[in-house]
Amino acid sequence: MTSLSQLRVKIFADGADRESMLDMYARPYIKGLTTNPTLMRKAGIANYRAFAKDILSRISDKPVCFEVLADDFPEMERQALEIAGWADNVYVKIPVTNTRRETCRSLVKRLADRQVKLNVTAIMTLAQVQEIVAALNPATAS
Q: Which residues are catalytic?
A: 93
- DSSP code, position 13: E
For residues 70 and 1, what is the distance between their CA atoms, to the nearest angstrom? 43
**5-28 burial: b if 16+ Cβ within 10 Å, else e:** eeeeeeebbebbbeeebeebbeee
- DSSP code, position 49: H
Amino acid in position 18: R
Residues with Cβ < 8 Å from 77, sequence gap 6 or more? Answer: 107, 110, 111
* Virtual torsion, Cα 57, 36, 113, 131, nearest 10 deg: 150
